[in-house]
Structure 1
């Protein structure tokens, strides 16, 4: 077995050359200091670097802090909202119970019809009727899997948003989902990279033209070797304008669809600020399913 020497001290270490080559690291970086233990903390500190420990600790700390923040903000709101829903449900149950007693239902068929009606009404109160088997069996247009919703699901795979409005029900669907994401995701990454570069160049050129014309009008000379870059403040403003524009488009789409082909059981359409929130969770790749266009999965 060969031995690795640390320059400039020329101290022999008990590390094999094969270990250094396997990690693709220079021998002077891979080898620990003379008095350090072979796999001690300082050894891995040099291999991984201080910033990796810092970033890992920062992410863990932010996750724990986020848990505290969201727990204290959302828990009380959930308790209050669920208490209101429970109160409404109790009133509905009492009302339907009185109606059932007043009708004096005796036959099993009539009782089954009344129970089915009560069940669907309670689901509508909780706004979960659209996921009910009774609702989906009312017609094929109520099913989760139709052509355009399937296109919406397929696009979510390689966009990595995953809103959760739809999910496959079979093992074949899960296998195809994995294969679809495996083959399509690299193309999506390349497309996003190229479009991002193209958009950045376009914005930079437009900004440079405006800046040069402004300087010319003010009599300010420009260094021919100057590299012009778009300020971060302008990029932030453009991002927020994009969020508001897309939010307005989603709001208009949901409102128009609700006006022309709306269904009462699906609830009111998405609002403007909800559309902005939906746009943000889309472009950020988070894909929370708590707030999506009402008619996204049915149109």
Structure 2
């Protein structure tokens, strides 16, 4: 009788443990950054290759608070396309429908994010606008990102600040985005102390808003150790590698190399998933979304 009860109890415990793993795995991040106008991307491949998170690169904030989508024309030329003017969406139905389609029909995509990065004056402009007007629902920043979220069906905002690093405006901006309904993520390659400070302050104000860290482990962040960042930030991170590319071939990662790296990070650090920086490289070089996505789904079921 006692032996039978012990076995039953053990089996029940294993059942609970398996259920826990299933719940965690369901939210394991399998991500890819999308550079270049998403209208030109292979939507079907992106939706069916195992990725569950897309990060659209990138939106810029102008001095007056208007938003532009920095994309690429069919001839490869840079295109600064207005998407929000005076707090209203002006980006057109085709672009909005394309982005919303990522999560409709047959798809693996559960989360679509929009990324901002310091390749221009975006974060200086955000800081100036917040210092002047705050982040209330009547401000141009609030209206602009509210309009963009509604038009594109966005789930999250990705902060890729690589130069300004202003704690006060970063926290205020993040809290504002949470009020609109975005989740908040970052894509750091350095300055872990800054990001830890930002996370602590956002967590204290809006718990669970700051939920994902896409850690750059290539180029300027090539020496980053996911375990060290996890210790600093107090949360699992999602290491990001750069796919095979012709811009900086030495920083490229083949599918086989990606499998090895993600497998090692998963076993060593129990990271929150994995992902890729993709400067339109996969389509440009004729690589395979399915193969790169498969590396993630095999290691992070």
TM-score (norm 1): 0.20
Question: Max radius of gyration: which structure?
Answer: 1
Name which structure has the greater RCO, CA cutoff 8 Å, separation 6+.
Answer: 2
- Structure richer in helix, relative to its length: 1
TM-score (norm 2): 0.20
